[in-house]
Amino acid sequence: MDDEAVSLFRRQVKALQRRLRQEVPPLQGLSRPALQVLAAVSRKPGISPREVAAELQMTSSNVAAALREVEAGVFLERRKDPEDARRARLSLTAAGADAVARMRNERDTWLGRAVHAVLTPDEQRTLVEAGRLMDRLSCFEPA
C-alpha cells in the first residue's frame, strides 16, 4: 500500500468516525468531552482522571471540567484509590452505564441500517473481513 493509499484510508476511517459521533444522541445536556469521559470510564472501570486524560488525549483541565459535568449528572462516581488516597478512581453509576449503553446502541443501530441500505451482501462480507484486518492493525506495536 503506497503512502497515498494509506492517507486515503486514514481519511475514510476518520470520516466514518465523525459520522458515528454525530449519531450519539444528546444526553441531558452533556458536552461531547463529557460523553467521551463516560465512554472511557466504561471501557476501563477504576481508571484515574490522569489515565482518562492520557487515553483521550485531553488536557487535565478539560477532563476535570467533563468530570464535573458527569458527576453533577450522577453518571459517575469518584472514589479514593485504596493504594494512594491522594488519587481518585472512577466508575460509572447505574445511570452512567445505562447512558453509555444507549449511546452505543444508537450508533450501532445507525451503522447497521447504513450497512444494509448501502452495501450489497458481498460488500457486507468484505466489510466484516476488513474489520478483522483493522483489529489486527490496531494491535500493531513497532519493534
Which of 46, 35, 34, 19 has the alpha carbon at shortest distance from 107?
A: 19
pLDDT at 64: 93
Sign of the alpha-carbon torsion through 47, 99, 109, 14? negative
pLDDT tens string 45-89: 999 999 999 999 999 999 999 998 888 778 999 888 888 888 889
pLDDT at 25: 67
pLDDT at 42: 95
Indicate the pLDDT class of residue 143, thresholds 50, 70 and 90.
confident
Q: What secondary structure does DSSP assign to 99-117, as a single string?
A: HHHHHHHHHHHHHHHHHHH
pLDDT at 82: 86
pLDDT at 39: 92
* Grid cell for residue 127: 466489510
Higher pLDDT residue, 25 or 137? 137
End-to-end CA distance of the chain: 20
In Å, what is the CA distance from 138 to each residue of 1, 9, 16, 77, 134? 17, 14, 16, 30, 6
Which of 111, 73, 65, 71 has the alpha carbon at shortest distance from 91?
A: 71
* Grid cell for residue 66: 467533563
Q: Average per-residue pLDDT in the chain?
A: 91
| Mean pLDDT for the stretch of residues 7-21 | 92
Phi, psi for 133 (deg, rounded to 5): -65, -40
| Mean pLDDT for the stretch of residues 33-42 | 92
